[in-house]
Amino acid sequence: MTQHEIPPVKVGEVATQFPRKLAPIFKSQRYKVARGGRGGAKSWGFSGALVLMTDAPEQFYWGRELGRKKLRVLCGREIQKSIAESVHQVIAQRIQAQGMGDHWRINNNNIVHRHNGSEFIFAGLRDQDAAKIKSDEDVDICWLEEAHTIRKASWKTLTPTIRKKGSEIWVSYNPELETDETHVRFTGDRIPTDTVIIEINWRDNPWFKGTALEQERLDCLKNNPDEYDHIWEGQPLIVLPGAIYAKEVMRMMANGQVG
């Protein structure tokens, strides 16, 4: 075990390892936010933890303190035109990787535990699914993937809907712009009470080194340095792609090209 790992989390005979940075997701909090650049294991960690928790709720907060024997997890994103755009495949892969394939029934539109009834459901927050989500109150955990795209209107609908006792909202994203609604909500004075913010990047992932992503990172650092900090270090872009970058503007000002 390296300095970037926590001791394996064990459910039954299944032991799964997680980056040390993600240890807080195993404690009860209303908002759990993991943000950062590519290769930080945000989705990998969240999906793995959710599979463990839904497989054996009694070993975690919901079972011990709230008496839950099953969990209902809503996996949401701003726009989901098809199940292929959701984290359905990610969840299914984690179930198999953690040796729990015989515990679950993997359907086209949901994933249901064969023994305790825990369930993963998948939905888009915008337009066609908004009314559906608003009426779906029996959710224990809501995981918002690619959350930097979620609009203020969607947050306004979602937050009061996830109101079951002990319910949690998990948020994972790579910041796009400092002005994005999700980033504003979880930055500075706007951070809600009972929130944990986890800044996690490639260097916090103990299994990153030696993967194909490592070479991609080095190539990006060499060939695309202007976007490197955003892509790999989780820093918001200062301006939209395609516009003149702030550092270029500052260079022009220093050279007297901008007055």
10 sits in which H/E element? strand 9-11
Question: Domain of 203: which CATH number?
Answer: 3.40.50.300
In a shared domain, residues 193 and 239: no
Q: Which residues of 205-239 are buried (b: 16+ CB within 10 A; e: fewer)?
A: bbebeeeeeeeebeebeeeeeeebebbbbbbbbee
Find the mean pLDDT for residues 145-167: 93
pLDDT band at 94 (very low <50, low <70, confident <90, very high): very high
The single-letter DSSP state of residue 208 is -
Question: Is the pLDDT score of 74 beyond 90?
Answer: yes
- The pLDDT of residue 69 is 93
Give the per-residue pLDDT at 253.
56
Measured from the Cβ of residue 53, the count of other Cβ atoms closer than 10 Å reads 23
Would you place residue 257 in the very low, low, confident or very high pLDDT band (cuts 50, 70, 90)?
Answer: very low
- Residues 249 and 236 grouped into a single domain: yes
| Distance (Å, whole) CA 110 – CA 108 | 6
Least confident of 71-80, 82-91, 245-254: 245-254
Mean pLDDT across 200-225: 95
Same-domain pairing of 79 and 168: yes
How many domains is the chain built from? Answer: 2
pLDDT at residue 116 above 70? yes
Question: Taking residues 10-18, what's their average pLDDT?
Answer: 72
Residue 90: what pLDDT? 94
Q: Which pTM does this prediction carry?
A: 0.88
Q: Is residue 225 part of a domain?
A: yes
Q: How confident is the model at residue 135 (pLDDT cuts 50, 70, 90)?
A: low
What's the pLDDT score for residue 238? 74
Residue 4, in any domain of the structure: no
The boundaries of the domain holding residue 250 are 210-259
